[in-house]
Copies of this chain bind each other. A is one copy, B any other.
Amino acid sequence: MKLRRSERMVVISNYLINNPYQLTNLNTFASQYEAAKSSISEDIAIIKKAFEERHIGEIETVTGASGGVIFTPSIAKEEALAIVEDLCDKLSESDRILPGGYLYLTDLLSTPAILQNVGRIIANAFKGEKIDAVMTVATKGVPLANAVANVLNVPFVIVRRDLKITEGSTVSVNYVSGSSDRIEKMFLSKRSLKPGSRVLIVDDFLKGGGTVTGMMGLLDEFDSELVGVAVFAENAKTEKMDVSYKSLLKVSELDVKNSQVSVETGNIFD
């Protein structure tokens, strides 16, 4: 279908936004929109400028016959900070405190607009790293891992705390459950992660680090490599973990008795 330049730019932008981290040959666009490759190159140059000026992302051109363009989403530091500060305010609402010293996060981690922004911020913090998959543990980590995987355009892998027949053969490891100090088991379907994968671990809340250490044990079992760990929120009062991690939010105080919670930005901007 032949399109005018302005329309072409709209549909090429749409394509790139929906296909991040993917190499697309300019001939694909040229034949699809019945335009000369040189015209497409000019379109891309304008889109690139607009994307970069508005911090939507970068467009890289790979030259050669098998070359093309790759869109890498990004986010401006000021925008990311504003998003995290807004989350700090939301997390500081006293009615989030649950008996036992837990914080209710589910509403935030089930709102697409928030998840999308959090996904952009976490993915941006690992830009430049080769990542094959995003790993998390069911259930609360799933939407977060999904959001990061969307931006990186890679699959996500869900570790389970129970055995499901619909997962086929699994590999299991033991881990120390932070909330109960008991030894428990976590399971990963054998088919869900290729050996030799480079994996980003994502979780909703970091307390003792037992769950993350368990997932790292699974990575060993799958001959896979840890790229990094990112969490939505961390509890500042917990013992320091051996492994480094990036957090969006840090819960510095949680006083159940007086219904007081203090939240600050995490270390992701350090």
Contacts and interface: CB of A to CB of B under 8 A. Distances in A.
A67 interface: no
B142 A143 contact: yes
Interface in A131-168: 138-140, 142-143, 146, 149-150, 153-158, 160, 164-168
Contacts of A149: 110, 112
A150 B112 contact: yes
A41 interface: no
A43 B115 CA distance: 29
Contact of A14 (B17, B110, B165): B17
Nearest to A10: B50
Given A6-B6, A111-B155, A150-B116, A104 B168 contact: yes
A91 to B, nearest CB: 14
A113 B7 contact: no
Interface string A10-36: 110110011100000000000000000
Contacts of A153: 112-113
A214 B160 CA distance: 23
A54 B164 CA distance: 41
Contacts of A139: 138-139, 142, 158, 160, 164
Contacts of A106: 158, 166-167, 189, 191-192
A167 B102 CA distance: 9
A64 interface: no
Nearest to A204: B166
**Size band of the A side of the interface?**
35 or more
Contacts of A160: 139
A90 interface: no
A191 B98 contact: no
A3 B150 contact: no
B56 A11 contact: yes
Contacts of A105: 166
Given A9-B9, A139-B160, A166 B14 contact: no
A183 interface: no
Interface of A: 1, 3-11, 13-14, 17-19, 46-47, 49-51, 53-54, 56, 98-100, 102-107, 110-113, 115-116, 138-140, 142-143, 146, 149-150, 153-158, 160, 164-168, 179, 189, 191-192
Given A1-B53, A107-B155, 15 more contacts: A3-B53, A5-B6, A6-B9, A7-B49, A9-B9, A10-B47, A11-B56, A14-B51, A17-B18, A19-B113, A104-B189, A113-B153, A139-B164, A140-B166, A142-B142
